[in-house]
Amino acid sequence: MVDTTAETIARPKLRQQSLLVELLETGVLIAAIYALVNLATVRFFIDGPSMEPNFEAGQFLVVSRVNYLLGSPERGDVVVFNAPGSDNDDPPLIKRLIGMPGDTVEIRNTEVYVNNQRMNEPYIKEACRESRCRDAVWTLGPNEYFLLGDNRNNSRDSRAFGPVPGERIVGEALIRYWPPSDWGIVEHYRYPEP
């Protein structure tokens, strides 16, 4: 026999917030996330052929500012930076990091050598013409980096303006997000250890 006179146990009621408070909290959360993302990253627009065939004009990238706050740039990174001698009105550039602080970078017979070792560069568009890759030597100081475009025959890079001080580097290219057909992680070439 079932006792139907048993008391029903009352459950505590949850305090419900008004719709306005919920919307306000959601708006503040969205604004905070947006601000953090914008502090940690920048969006970059590829404008020109200097990084072909790996990056095409019209593509958009997400560039991490945080990577170089937590660590140092590495040879092979694709970085966005402000060229030496440029002002705030000049757009930043994107290039591949070839030379690290203390390195000697040399162009010899259109080939790139770092510390007397010929660089294996499978990512470049084509062999550099002699008119664009004249023999030259750069010895990098502390906190100086040597940056070259992947399209050596059509790139304004460290061959023109010299080594780039570390404080001019904005960040590391991480993600290609536009156009949708090109979505993906930016692949970084890692050079073998000498």
Q: What residues are annotated to the active site?
A: 50, 95
Residue where the block lists tokens 């004249």: 134
* CA 76, 78, 82, 86 torsion-angle sign: positive
- List, in sequence order, every beta strand (DSSP E) within 20-168: 41-45, 60-64, 78-81, 93-99, 104-108, 111-114, 117-118, 136-139, 144-148, 164-165
Q: Please state, in angstroms and rounded to a whole number, the distance separating the CA atoms of residues 94 and 81.
A: 6
Q: Please state, in angstroms and rounded to a whole number, the distance separating the CA atoms of residues 127 and 150.
A: 10
Report the DSSP beta bridge partners of residue 138. Answer: 105
What 3-state class would DSSP assign to 30?
helix
Element of type H or E holding 39? helix 19-40
